[in-house]
A = this chain, B = another copy of it.
Amino acid sequence: VNPDRLSLNQITVRPWSLEEVVKGCARHGIGSLAVWRDKLAEVGVTRGATMIRDAGLRVSSLCRGGMFTDPAVSAPTALDDNKRAVDEAAALGADVLVLVCGPLQDTDLPAARRRVADGVAALMPYAESAGVMVGIEPLHPMMISERSVVVSLRQANDLVETVGSANLGVVVDAYHVWWDPDLEREIHRATGRVLGYHVSDWLAETTDLLYCRGLMGDGLIDLPGLSAAVEKAGYRGPVEVEILSHELWRRDGDRVLDDVTDRFTRYV
């Protein structure tokens, strides 16, 4: 992958504020950024969008909409929050709004998956009017009770087909999908609808279900093979480095970005 396509997902340097991330990108020659809504909220959407635009940064994605499955939250309330996420993505000019669809909170998995399908279908007319692309990101099955009942690219592709909006596609995160025997087939099936591609690595000694991702090259994922498959499916946009890692977050942010740019060049 051409190093110019590197986008920094700001969770990789979680201790930094949005402003520190924007300045860090400049120092390290990184031209794209993925923004998290909680970090954006700290400075406010308008100020955050101005800051990013003034720095000349592209916003590869906004993370995240979704979370349709909480039985304590009504469908209209969940829809409202997702509309706000669409507005924020529009304000930032983000390539895509990422959907993390929501965890399972009881034993009725089919019902939770129906709530997700209904939630995405309800959101898309609004996203279409706003001209915002929306990407369903399947998450690793181990995160089903923490983050997402959408657990495979096949399932995400099925959802995209069922909902049938021109603004809807999928986001491929290496860490979440690399184990899947159907991966190559499903990436091919998503041709033209891949809206984002995220990289990190699966450490052989994974000790935490959420915050134990590795730098590219430190683990077991065949990233060059995956990058080739995603490119063949027509995706030519930014490639986000998104590493959720307690170990990385303890380190100095600039040293982390040194490693990120180096590893991206060598292992993605």
Contact = CB atoms under 8 A, between A and B. Distances in A.
Nearest to A207: B209
Contacts of A151: 179-181
A68 interface: no
A140 interface: yes
A113 B145 contact: no
Interface residues of A, number: 32
A145 B206 CA distance: 9
Contacts of A141: 140-142, 179-180
Interface in A18-64: none
Interface in A50-84: none
A209 B182 CA distance: 23
A258 interface: no
A166 interface: no
A235 to B, nearest CB: 21
B140 A222 contact: no
A262 interface: no
